Chains A and B, each alone.
Chain A
Amino acid sequence: MIEIKNLTKTFEVSYGTLDALKDVSITINDGEIFGIIGMSGAGKSTLVRCINMLERPTEGTVCIDGCDLGRLSAKELRAKRRNITMIFQGFNLLMQRTCLKNICFPLELDGIPRAEAKKKALELLETVGLPDKANAYPSQLSGGQQQRIAIARALATNPQVLLCDEATSALDPKTTHSILELIKEINRKTGITVIIITHQMSVVEEICTNVAILDNGKVVESGSVSDVFSKPQSDAAKKLVFPEGAEEVFAESGNEPRIRVVFNGAEAANIPLISQMAIDKGIAANILGASTKAIGDRAYGNILLGIPGGKEQVATAIEYLGAIKDITVEEV
């Protein structure tokens, strides 16, 4: 279990001080894939670097299984880092080493005999699906392939935690998907805890179980992905979930009563729900705004409906839609 408690990081900059993180507390359970999402400059990269102490927190603690990383000596910390490895947006492979030697690198640091390291590296090349690239140099690989090698390198020391710092931000959507699939598979097979830092909603939706939203150095919202994304509370979360601001368009206009239909993973992606209500109940709802996403065959997000014709109609609509599993309806 990773416990981040009251983490604050202040940088000295030319114009004074900059609070990159303000009192951040997050708990991440073993074996989960945890997303930390935020806009550029929200403090994501600083936060992830505090987890392995590449950045020393100004205040607060990071404990992994009860071990306070801030109290370790430089040497102990180096040993601990073999247990918390990291992949990066820019892959950061050693350009003058072959892929095989890149994967051997952390083992070499650890003083593992060459033959043993090579054996492990070859296994990992299989795991990441690039067994034929052992003797290739990173410059000969595509971005996605380089990230696979970086993942293999990060796994070489059998770590307990994998930190992914914008690991897919430099990749195209298809490659992003395949890298996420790989991470998911590794998580499933080895039970490794994965922390994903990203600014891409799609990444969190695809792979994470829990998420924390970071805005301006603070955690503004956290919880399960379906909760946070279906009912975003904070402005930052709303901005991420509804990047177009769809929800706000009609929010302040009109006099008819409005209801909000929230989809919490309802199996409704294929059902013409609103039309069905018009047929069944004769309510001609006016769609004022909608932002829904289908994840798999489940729907997340919400729709803002204007209901013509008084309180009765509203009550009927709420009852009708509310009866469907994983949909909640509220009057607004």
Chain B
Amino acid sequence: MFDKIFSSEALAESIEILKNEFPVALWETFYVTVLATAFAIVLGLPLGVLLVAGEKNGVLPLPKGIMNVLNVIINLLRSVPFLILMILVFPLTRAIIGTTVGTPASIVPLVIASFPFVARLVESSLREVNPNIIEAAQSMGASPFQIIVKVMIPESVPSLISNATIAITTILSYSAMSGIIGGGGLGKIAINYGYYRYKYLVMVFAVILLIVLVQLFQSIGTKLATKSDKRLKSKR
């Protein structure tokens, strides 16, 4: 089987496809991932802040009912497999984008699937902030809002960047999955050629490009996180 996959005709054909389709697919995957991550952060960051600040001993305690509802929503959304969630949110996608197929349409399920995940990541980052520093800010007369904006978030920036990197790589892999229901990008190529048309080599190329993208996001993220952390002794 493998000699057929890697035959010279298959290779020539794959390279042809690579030339014609991959630049667009790469771009689609890139912008879908970045946009979906951006939206997920827009929704997930405030939610994550509420999860920490709204606790009983938090800086802005919220009624227990509200906290329970938040937690249930997040857990519900996180427990639906992405493949199924994509289909479940079709009505919402249609309402927002006007259609359920195509690259822009895949952003909606991506955001819905990933913002609860981002909220949990934000929550874990904010919990790392030394509670004594928050107490110090309270002792200086900081309001709850000031503590969130001037202490909790700035103090956890390195951790937030690391977690944003985790989010973006996860969303990248989700975006590849959206190829199944008509989303664009590398995932679509991998499925259309590799699965439906048995062009295994094309799929391999798509996967290699996905790996390169993940590596790229991860190394940029790690670098930014390290650079932003003023606690590191190497900065002496």
How many A residues, CB 8 Å from partner? 31
In the complex, the chain A residue whose C-beta lies closest to that of B143 is A78
Q: Which of B138, B146, B154 contacts A94 (CB 8 A)?
A: B154
What residues of chain A lie closer than 8 Å to B132, measured between beta carbons? 88, 90, 92
Check: B71 CB closer than 8 A to any chain A CB.
no
Q: Which of B137, B139, B235 contacts A139 (CB 8 A)?
A: B235
A interface residues with partner B (beta carbon < 8 Å): 52, 54, 75, 77-82, 85-86, 88, 90, 92-97, 105-106, 108-110, 137-140, 153, 157, 163
Listed by A's residue number, 30 A-B pairs whose Cβ atoms lie within 8 Å are A80-B141, A82-B140, A86-B136, A88-B136, A90-B130, A90-B132, A92-B132, A92-B135, A94-B133, A94-B151, A94-B155, A95-B155, A95-B230, A95-B231, A96-B155, A97-B154, A105-B140, A106-B140, A108-B150, A109-B137, A109-B140, A109-B143, A109-B146, A109-B150, A137-B230, A137-B235, A138-B230, A139-B233, A139-B235, A157-B140
How many B residues, CB 8 Å from partner? 27
- The secondary structure that dominates the A interface is mixed
Q: How far is the CB of A69 from chain B (nearest CB, A)?
A: 12
- The secondary structure that dominates the B interface is helix
Determine the distance from Cα of A231 to Cα of B236 in the docked complex, in whole angstroms.
Answer: 50
What residues of chain B lie closer than 8 Å to A139, measured between beta carbons? 230-233, 235
Check: B157 CB closer than 8 A to any chain A CB.
yes
- Are the CB atoms of B151 and A81 closer together than 8 Å? no
Determine the distance from Cα of A138 to Cα of B230 in the docked complex, in whole angstroms.
Answer: 8
Give 6 closest A-B pairs by Cβ, nearest first: A81-B141, A92-B136, A78-B141, A137-B230, A86-B139, A106-B140
In the complex, the chain B residue whose C-beta lies closest to that of A52 is B139
What residues of chain A lie closer than 8 Å to B235, measured between beta carbons? 137, 139-140
Q: How far is the CB of A232 from chain B (nearest CB, A)?
A: 32
- Are the CB atoms of A105 and B141 closer together than 8 Å? no
Q: How far is the CB of B110 from chain A (nearest CB, A)?
A: 31
Determine the distance from Cα of A88 to Cα of B133 in the docked complex, in whole angstroms.
Answer: 10
In the complex, the chain A residue whose C-beta lies closest to that of B139 is A86
What residues of chain A lie closer than 8 Å to B139, measured between beta carbons? 52, 54, 81, 85-86, 163
Determine the distance from Cα of A81 to Cα of B138 in the docked complex, in whole angstroms.
Answer: 8
What residues of chain B lie closer than 8 Å to A88, measured between beta carbons? 132, 135-136
Q: Which of A79, A85, A96, A140 contacts B154 (CB 8 A)?
A: A96
What residues of chain A lie closer than 8 Å to B228, measured between beta carbons? 96
In the complex, the chain B residue whose C-beta lies closest to that of A79 is B141
Q: How far is the CB of B50 from chain A (nearest CB, A)?
A: 19
Check: B10 CB closer than 8 A to any chain A CB.
no
In the complex, the chain B residue whose C-beta lies closest to that of A81 is B141
Check: B142 CB closer than 8 A to any chain A CB.
yes
Q: How far is the CB of A76 from chain B (nearest CB, A)?
A: 10
In the complex, the chain B residue whose C-beta lies closest to that of A86 is B139
Most A CB within 10 A of own CB, among B140, B155, B229, B231: B140
Determine the distance from Cα of A95 to Cα of B159 in the docked complex, in whole angstroms.
Answer: 13
- Are the CB atoms of A105 and B150 closer together than 8 Å? yes
Determine the distance from Cα of A80 to Cα of B138 in the docked complex, in whole angstroms.
Answer: 12
Given contacts A96-B228, A139-B230, 5 further A-B contacts (CB under 8 A): A78-B141, A94-B154, A96-B231, A97-B154, A106-B141
What residues of chain B lie closer than 8 Å to A138, measured between beta carbons? 230
Q: How far is the CB of A28 from chain B (nearest CB, A)?
A: 18
Q: How far is the CB of A233 from chain B (nearest CB, A)?
A: 34
- Are the CB atoms of B140 and A96 closer together than 8 Å? no
- Are the CB atoms of B155 and A81 closer together than 8 Å? no
Determine the distance from Cα of A90 to Cα of B131 in the docked complex, in whole angstroms.
Answer: 11
What residues of chain A lie closer than 8 Å to B146, measured between beta carbons? 109
